[in-house]
């Protein structure tokens, strides 16, 4: 459909029909051949309004979606097709590691491939849009939704945002096996006060622009077709009514011309925020801010028409919103083929595609972070003099819920547990060392239960059964030379609505850990979680700690492959692990303050420090071990002065680009991958600057004894920031460049910008 044809269509639509395009409902409104009267009545909607709704949330299955689309288009006055949307976060039927884990890969292209697979599987069930990627910057591990972000660094998040969008949308969103991406949650949603879900956000304009907005802007630059508003207030204005955010920054400053959708019921929540006196005012405020789609309220449907007819709401606002929605449908090719890639064959597929499984198994170890290794890993596949038997003891030995709370569309039976992977390796003859398995306890404590988006889980075991589990685990641990303990938080203890003030491994699991440690201290902890946890005791007592997050469908295979050295854990932390919950929020790029504390220094009382804990996190951003060792040479620079471009045509004396280099050497006995990280510190600026900022990284794989020169370009753009007058640009002065294995590296050199 041409642009002119869309405008003609818009001009021919009735006011009610246009308002309908702004309404998004769930699939249960269309669950049967006839419309469901219960949901309509609950939301105070008429059949005519439901007939004109422009999009559907969370209906799944090609057969069902084709039926809904066909039936809907027969009733819709202009036969305009529906948009089908859903939360496809870290995979569809094939589930990949959670986004926070993907951030730890330091490999945006890998996440782009995961998104491409997810798009293919989702598109063939009839979906058109995914509510992903979530690019909210996260620095407080108490917040449950840190699992959906790729971490604490603006630069890293922006790269992942762009790669994931390209994976979903391809070169053109209307292509086969591609879907539209929706960047969320705009803006600042990852910084709620106290780490509490839906809470207010307090950010200065400089902090907002320096740290929180860049990843969203990267989404616009990558061509994301949709943005979603956040639930929080910013500057005490809820995002859904925040005209400055949505109109001035998103649309005018950045040039976003796609669809803007509210989060679930967020327009109606303007009343609870206390910014709208009634639904009419809520409708006015949200539409004025530029919110095109009202997800699951009747605010637009029931409270716009009269205001438009009476002139209080310009019909132009409505027309602009409708045109953006029609344009997305047109880009997807729905006017020509309203079913797009939907194919009932995929509803009945008995198995995940083998290539997708293989890719998931290969990708997961790149997200695993080896936090500690006192010589135990990798484990031997055959008996040795030191290790003749291994016991796997812990609740995640047999747990299939290893996909994360926002994984909604997988089949539970297709997930591979650690025990299943071990048995498969034994049957194939790959694993000849004696291995035993026992749960020891359940993931949840006695009688504990947890509701989730997908299912409800409860520990149904009796006390007697739990005592027997523990006794079996202790007996296995006594007999074994090494104990591998897969522990961690329940998958529904992270995600939306899962904020916590205690962020350790559950206490009943820690009791099992302590009892096992008392009979056999040779412990490898495999930690499952959707957030950084307080691992002080585990890190102190265990000989090795492997962070596997929620690894997805092929988690069991990937973990066993990694523990026994078939693959290596090559992830690096994309979010710092706090020493304890009292440190949160904690992140590497903090300001030094006027009274900086130096760890280990006897610097007196009146400095910026805790008296009962270190300032540094337990494990810092960028940290991670492997199965070999690397050394770095000193940093060398191609010059000491970087020229500052005064105008587009002129630059001062010096080079317009510097090259910073190190020589990396694998001094271990195995091939291995190192994530070489580049950080820059501005030594003096018109405003206080972070102690360092990530500006580049490279994943380098070397054979034993191999060396390689690793180089990074340093440009003036990398040194720009929001200056004291809030203009964006560089300032002359001295800078430090650091190249090393994590954000704590002191391997650096100095240069000047002049």
263, 232 contact by CB (below 8 A)? no
What mean pLDDT do residues 203-210 have?
A: 98
Residue 277: which pLDDT band, with cuts at 50, 70 and 90? Answer: very high
Q: How many CB atoms lie within 10 A of CB 15?
A: 13
**Span 130-172, pLDDT tens digits:** 999 999 999 999 999 999 999 999 999 999 999 999 999 999 9
- Residue 326 burial (CB count, 10 A): 24
694 and 561 in a common domain = no
Angle between helices 507-519 and 463-479 (to 10 degrees): 30
- Residue-level pLDDT at 523: 98
* Adjacent-strand bridge partners of 547: 369, 527
- Does 575 lie in the same domain as 443? yes
Residue 453 has pLDDT above 80, yes or no: yes
DSSP bridge partners of 708: 664
431 and 509, same domain (yes or no): yes
Q: How confident is the model at residue 8 (pLDDT cuts 50, 70, 90)?
A: very high
- Residue 648's pLDDT is 47
- Are 569 and 657 in a shared domain? no
Looking at every residue in the chain, the average pLDDT score rounds to 96
Torsional sign, CA 415, 418, 423, 425: positive
How much is the pLDDT for 709? Answer: 98
Global pTM value: 0.97
Per-residue pLDDT at 602: 72
Query: Considering 558, 581, 604, which residue would you say is the last residue of a domain?
Result: 581
- Cβ neighbours of residue 651 under 8 Å, at least 6 residues apart? 643, 644, 645
Q: Does residue 540 belong to any structural domain of this protein?
A: yes
Beta carbons of 238 and 266 less than 8 angstroms apart: yes
pLDDT digit string, tens, across residues 13-64: 999 999 999 999 999 998 765 556 778 888 999 999 999 999 999 999 999 9
Residue 600 lies in a domain: no
- Please name which of 87, 94, 93, 148 lies closest in space to residue 558, comparing C-alpha atoms: 94
In degrees rounded to 5, what are phi and psi of residue 539? -65, -35
Query: What is the pLDDT at residue 186?
Result: 98
Residues 653 and 567 both lie in one domain: no
Q: What is the pLDDT of residues 482-511, one digit of tens each?
A: 999 999 999 999 999 999 999 999 999 999
pLDDT at 646 over 70: no
Judged against a pLDDT cut of 70, whether residue 445 lies above it is answered with yes
pLDDT category at 599 given cuts 50, 70, 90 is: confident
Residue range of the domain that includes 405: 354-581
**Structural domains counted in the chain:** 2
621 pLDDT band (50/70/90 cuts)? Answer: very high
Give residues with Cβ within 8 angstroms of 549, minimum separation 6: 97, 98, 100, 101, 104, 147, 367, 368, 404, 528, 529, 530
Average pLDDT estimate for 590-606: 86
Q: Does a structural domain hold residue 672?
A: yes
Predicted local distance difference test score (pLDDT) of residue 605: 87
> 426 and 567: one domain?
yes
Share of the chain above pLDDT 90, in %: 94
Q: Which residues in 292-312 are b (16+ Cβ under 10 Å) and which e?
A: bbbbbbbbbbbbbbebbeeee
Is the separation of the CB atoms in 397 and 418 below 8 Å? Answer: yes
Q: Are residues 536 and 638 in the same domain?
A: no
Q: Give the pLDDT score at 474.
A: 98
What's the whole-number mean pLDDT along residues 299-303? 98
Residue 52 and residue 93 in contact, taking contact as beta carbons nearer than 8 Å: no
Q: List own/partner pairs for 272-280 with CB under 8 A and 24 or more apart.
A: 273/233, 273/238, 275/237, 275/238, 275/241, 276/241, 279/303, 280/306, 280/307
CATH code for the domain in which residue 499 is found: 3.40.50.1700
| pLDDT number for residue 673 | 98
CATH number at residue 635: 2.60.40.10
Question: For residue 227, which of 154, 296, 140, 136 has the smallest C-alpha distance?
Answer: 136
Q: Which residue has the tokens 């047109």?
A: 330
**Is 162 contained in some domain?**
no
Out of 542, 564, 581, pick the residue that ends a domain.
581
What is the per-residue pLDDT for 38? Answer: 76
Query: Any residues with CB less than 8 A from the CB of 572 and at least 6 apart, and which?
Result: 104, 106, 369, 622, 623, 624, 675, 677, 742
* pLDDT for res 34: 55
Q: Of the candidates 522, 552, 581, which is a domain's last residue?
A: 581
In angstroms, the Cα distances linking 356 to 105, 111, 164, 450 are: 18, 13, 17, 30
Q: Is 405 in the same domain as 508? A: yes
User: Is residue 515 one of the residues assigned to a domain?
Assistant: yes
Residue 601: per-residue pLDDT:
75
pLDDT for 307 equals 98
In this prediction, residue 651 has a pLDDT band, given cuts at 50, 70 and 90, of: very low
User: Is 476 inside any structural domain?
Assistant: yes
560 plus 632 within the same structural domain:
no
**Residues forming the active site:** 263
Lowest mean pLDDT among 290-294, 451-455, 492-496, 703-707: 451-455
Q: Is residue 247 part of a domain?
A: no
Q: Is the pLDDT of residue 522 over 90?
A: yes
Same domain for 503 and 649: no
CB 379 within 8 A of CB 431: no
Interatomic CA distance for residues 105 and 570, integer angstroms? 7
Residues 633, 561 within the same domain: no
The answer as to whether 109 is a domain residue is no
pLDDT digits (tens, 9 = 90+) for 534-569: 999 999 999 999 999 999 999 999 999 999 999 999
Domain match, 571 and 647 both: no
């Amino acid at each position: 459909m041409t642009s002119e044809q869309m405008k003609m269509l818009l001009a021919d639509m009735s006011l009610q029909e246009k308002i309908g395009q702004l309404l998004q409902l769930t699939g249960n409104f269309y669950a049967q051949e006839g419309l469901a009267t219960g949901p309509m009545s609950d939301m105070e909607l008429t059949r005519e309004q439901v007939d004109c709704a422009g999009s559907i949330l969370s209906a799944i299955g090609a057969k069902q979606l084709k039926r809904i689309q066909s039936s809907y288009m027969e009733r819709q006055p202009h036969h305009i097709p529906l948009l089908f949307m859903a939360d496809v976060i870290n995979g569809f039927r094939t589930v990949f590691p959670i986004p926070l884990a993907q951030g730890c890969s330091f490999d945006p292209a890998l996440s782009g491939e995961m998104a491409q697979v997810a798009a293919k599987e989702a598109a063939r069930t009839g979906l058109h849009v995914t509510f992903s990627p979530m690019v909210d910057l996260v620095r407080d591990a108490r917040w449950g939704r840190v699992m959906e972000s790729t971490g604490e660094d603006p630069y890293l998040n922006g790269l992942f945002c762009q790669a994931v969008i390209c994976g979903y949308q391809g070169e053109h969103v209307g292509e086969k096996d591609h879907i539209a991406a929706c960047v969320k949650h705009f803006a600042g949603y990852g910084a709620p006060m106290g780490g509490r879900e839906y809470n207010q956000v307090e950010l200065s304009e400089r902090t907002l622009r320096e740290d929180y907005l860049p990843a969203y802007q990267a989404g616009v630059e990558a061509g994301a077709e949709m943005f979603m508003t956040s639930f929080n207030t910013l500057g005490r204005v809820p995002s859904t009514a925040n005209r400055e955010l949505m109109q001035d920054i998103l649309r005018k400053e950045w040039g976003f011309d796609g669809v803007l959708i509210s989060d679930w019921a967020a327009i109606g929540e303007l009343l609870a925020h206390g910014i709208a006196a009634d639904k009419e005012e809520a409708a006015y405020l949200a539409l004025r801010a530029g919110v095109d789609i009202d997800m699951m309220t009747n605010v637009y449907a029931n409270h716009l028409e009269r205001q438009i007819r009476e002139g209080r709401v310009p019909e132009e606002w409505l027309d602009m919103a409708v045109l953006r929605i029609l344009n997305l449908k047109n880009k997807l090719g729905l006017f020509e083929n309203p079913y797009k890639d939907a194919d009932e064959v995929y509803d009945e597929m008995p198995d995940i595609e083998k290539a997708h499984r293989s890719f998931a198994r290969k990708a997961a170890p790149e997200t695993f972070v080896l936090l500690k290794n006192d010589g135990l890993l990798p484990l031997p596949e055959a008996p040795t003099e030191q290790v003749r038997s291994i016991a796997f003891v812990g609740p995640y030995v047999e747990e299939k819920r290893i996909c994360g709370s926002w994984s909604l569309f997988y089949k539970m039976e297709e997930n591979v547990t650690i025990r299943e992977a071990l048995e498969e390796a034994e049957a194939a003859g790959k694993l000849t060392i004696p291995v035993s398995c026992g749960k020891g306890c359940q993931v949840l404590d006695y009688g504990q239960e947890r509701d989730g988006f997908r299912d409800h889980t409860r520990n149904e075991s009796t006390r007697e059964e739990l005592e027997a589990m523990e006794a079996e685990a202790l007996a296995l641990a006594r007999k074994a030379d090494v104990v591998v303990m897969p522990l961690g938080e329940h998958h529904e203890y992270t995600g939306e609505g899962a904020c916590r003030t205690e962020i350790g491994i559950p206490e009943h699991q820690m009791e099992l850990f302590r009892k096992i440690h008392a009979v056999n201290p040779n412990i490898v902890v495999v930690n499952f979680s959707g957030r950084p946890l307080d691992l002080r005791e585990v890190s102190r007592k265990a000989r090795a700690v492997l962070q596997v997050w929620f690894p997805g469908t092929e988690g069991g295979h990937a973990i066993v492959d990694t523990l026994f050295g078939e693959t290596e854990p090559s992830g690096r932390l994309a979010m710092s692990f706090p020493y304890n919950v009292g440190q949160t929020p904690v992140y590497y790029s903090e300001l030094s303050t006027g009274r900086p504390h130096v760890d280990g220094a006897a610097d007196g009382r009146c400095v910026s420090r805790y008296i009962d804990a270190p300032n540094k996190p337990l494990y810092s951003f960028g940290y991670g071990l492997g199965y070999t060792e690397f050394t770095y040479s000193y940093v060398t620079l191609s010059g000491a002065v970087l020229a500052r471009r005064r105008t587009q045509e002129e630059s001062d004396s010096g080079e317009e680009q510097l090259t910073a280099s190190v020589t990396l050497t694998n001094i271990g006995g195995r091939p291995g991958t190192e994530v070489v990280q580049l950080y820059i510190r501005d030594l003096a600026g018109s405003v206080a600057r972070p102690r360092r900022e990530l500006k580049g990284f490279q994943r380098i794989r070397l054979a034993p004894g191999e060396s390689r020169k690793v180089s990074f370009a340093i440009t003036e753009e990398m040194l720009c920031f929001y200056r004291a007058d809030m203009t964006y640009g560089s300032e002359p002065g001295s800078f430090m460049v650091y190249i090393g294995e994590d954000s704590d590296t002191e391997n650096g050199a100095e240069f000047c910008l002049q």
